[in-house]
Structure 1
């Protein structure tokens, strides 16, 4: 209800001012838009994640001005394979070993096979498709020789010539070098487990910052080298501003230095805006406003002014600190108009003149049994009238046609008699989906007639256990998700059973439901 009245409000003021639109909503990996809109100011869009992916952030984004709020992320589940567990000598709870999937954020407890000892914590968390497995070693077995050394690091204890199975040494990196991997290496049946690496620090100088139009935030702070994982707080130099999406930090990454972006800022000139008779579209406030490179501003004419025919666009981007302002002129500076244009099935009210000054208006009224589309008011601008309205026969929604086409009104509280020719929206009834050849679901009353969209019955897919067995495949997700097969899924992911490999001529292992049918991959 709230959304409807908000849209209705904008449809009323839309005849007087231009309402900017947002660009198409951003794409989301492993997800899709499940509820779309017209992308006008205040409209919302809803996202949904693929099966077994976990959403991070709000599912809804909003069109603000000409930009969308930040979209959510779809975080991947962790796929734990039996082969990998066997290689690492790991077991799941109750001494089981099988392939399964774990949702992002969920924990999984491990144990070691008989004869092996668990060294690291047994409970691990799935983080966006990645899980750090614990370590199993042979507590009894062959001895090991001296522990291996590492570059730019040292062993904290005296390196012995012989170590017993189960012994360990601990490593430490030299100053400013960062440890990558486990700090301890264990003797397991004559072999040392993986040793860590010492990652080199990042070199950051004041000259590097200056060339990027930034400087360190605290003048007393010494810079030169940053350890991997550490950061340096900065601020943009005078006349520059941080770009959207950046952070006020220089970060030393594992493989690169990540710098924020400081670009020349745009300061809206109140003097130039006053000279050009313009103001910001959303506010008449003339407070000091700064923007960064590629930020876009929407302008409109001040009261009593109209767009100059030779003006530059009223939607202006900030380009490296510079802006090209549009221009408005006084209404009296442009030509006068003759009588307003006549319309069918309507008249000018209460009467018309033979001559109109620029900026003055006239109103129309439709004849009985006709409704108006467009603004009832026309205005004389630059010697020409704005577009007059049209008068159409009233429309009546046919419940019979709606039932026949398996559709219903999106806004169920509306009456069936429509006295406005503006567009209105349909949606499929429960259990039906849009016909590929259907006309648009947002329909308009065209001279008393409506072109109705069409929906077909939803055909669901349920994976065939018989075909899966024949093709030596299985669903990648555990039985936890199989209860969802009766819902409206349209994509399934398969994997080869243990001991089988992908057939070279197999169809893709990610299959979509098309008209109730699935194309199954094959393993041999």
Structure 2
């Protein structure tokens, strides 16, 4: 045996044994020597190259994002005596120092900023806004993410207004300044207020945003109808031009216009408003104020559709139709009225006479009866909430005879009355399944017919019946012939398994009137055909526009099956009338300019006459300036409520107050501004004198020019 040691970097030993002329290995073998964990570097990770931490393996260190390696080597190798070298060192990258303008406030360390450090910026003055990033940070490359921002005066650029345009030539507006703009025809402002250049947080913007919209619009359904479940037709639109219509359908428990209407059609008017308020309201019922109520078992002041309330009535009254509770409907509380006076119609008997007869009896009243000749006895009935109480007690002097009922049987008599019904497979031709007959009566008993038969034809209002039969069998039919002025909703009635095929249709609705309501109203027009009580199908109505209006389209509509055909005409103001107001405005404007021209010349002449009196001359100049400087611009023909007029002082004069007035309900609001002179006392009047002379010449020139054009127009 020979003991053999391991080479450098390995541990252990093994033996070689000579066996039959060959060396064989026995015992332990050599294994790579372990160096253990190489050690973690701060702000860095490492990757192992090799098998575990053993002799010959190597680890490579990499710095984290935003850090850089400051050691010469970034690797360590496992050697015979352990890891060579030292653990590498990573330091954070540092951004260069930066500075900001004096009017910019900077928060953070700008001189020694490492990776990840943040600088925040604000403006020192509230009259300035920040242009640039509000915050920057030191990135992984040791550079700042953006440049240092600047603080500048709050200004707003001229906006681009779709379907509108900005007035004036101002290219940039300062804070609190107003924007004057107009909308194109058929469009209007979304807000009545003029937009103002406003600082909003770190930005400057127009408030409210200048927007021109079509004249009629629908808000978001989720906002307009938060709980109404409304829908529009046509859908997916929210702006409509004048004359266009939209159908609004509310949810099951809501209404629009009237509580009975779930849907309605609104038309966009020329003034930008709908013909009625597009709001779905919930159907509710107020607590009833009925003096006949005794008990109302709900103290809520208002209840919703289909809510029910139990109630009772005062003495002498009963709940209508035997109801036990009231239900809130689209027509109010049902039943209506809730309580009805307890009355009983007089009841007549063929074998008795009533004493002191009346047609109607109240609660608790008695009706006394005396039996007729051939009968014996007397009795009385009492009127109550359930009708008459008591029994008829007239008895025949002779025995009651039972007639034969084919396919049926009779029981009785009970209290001088026979009761009968039909056998299985048959039914009475009348609706109740049983009948009754008084003893000695000559009235025939109702006939028993097969269950598949329908009996007599039901009574249909406004229907002509040529011949009436007692019984119609299964499969037989009758042609419906309505009276003149009425139209049948279907042609035939057929008996099918004991029922007429109109069982789901109200008998009152089978024959309906064939006429239209009066013709619809049309703006600026009136119907010139003779007024009729009823407009039958085929009737026509012709419209005529008012004076100075012209008809466009066919001005005649026809009644077709109870509905007026859709009109396709309008009344439009004639061209001459459209320009009458403009002509009148121009004439008034010319007179106004001529008046100011004459007034200015008067003051100017007056000042020239006072050359020796400087103070009086200055006083006249001030009056003259007030006259000139308060002539406003943007003159219009008419000013609607909410319109604004802006005044502007001339050069060397300062506006004190708000130089704007608003038209409110036909009246201009009070002026709250003045134009005061600036500069020294002498200089301001010298410039004023020069301005006056130029102004007088300019006004006189405009006056003559306007009169020239006006004369040309008259010619």
TM-score by length of 2: 0.23
Which one scores higher on RCO, CA 8 angstroms, separation ≥ 6?
Answer: 1
For the pair shown, which has the larger CA radius of gyration, 1 or 2? 2
The structure whose residues are more often strand, as a share, is 2
TM-score by length of 1: 0.29
